[in-house]
Amino acid sequence: MPDIETLSANAEVTARLEALVGRLSDADLRRDLGGGWTVSVALAHLAFWDRRVAYVFERWTRGGAPHQELDDDVVNNALEELHKAVEPRAAARLAIDAAKSADAAIARVPDAIAAQLIAEDHAYLLNRSGHRGEHIEQIETGLRG
């Protein structure tokens, strides 16, 4: 299992995400963040990456294939139009649900898998607080703007 600091950081940022989503109006969800993204697109983006982490760990801990790297830019660009098509309120719900699913899957990761990820410089898969925090900041900045 990942260390308690990682689990705590994930839980804290998930709570922060949930509080943010709870404050968002429908107009906020449609707010432009620049670069073709809205608040809801950023939330759908988070939902995808957290859901991916949950699936990777669920499969791997059952004896399936381990984590494999993706070209993040290609994936993000390929998914952008799909994220834009997601109803904004649904994107908000999906982001919270995916964060909670990822946190739960991460908490069940065996020590050997956690150690391997850390050794291979893939600790970001265990510690989701950085990625979530980055997009929470992006959203909060966009809402102030």
14-65 confidence digits (pLDDT tens): 999 999 999 999 999 999 999 999 999 999 999 999 999 999 999 998 888 7
What residues form DSSP beta bridges with 34? 37
Q: How far is the C-alpha of 136 from the C-alpha of 79, rounded, in Å?
A: 19
Other C-beta atoms closer than 10 Å to the C-beta of 33 total 18
What domain range includes position 111?
4-144
Token reading at 5: 């600091």
CB atoms within 10 A of CB 141: 11
- The CATH number that applies at residue 85 is 1.20.120.450
Whether 70 shows a pLDDT value over 90: the answer reads no
Q: What pLDDT digit, counting tens, does each position of 89-139 carry? A: 999 999 999 999 999 999 999 999 999 999 999 999 999 999 999 999 999
pLDDT over 80 (residue 1)? no
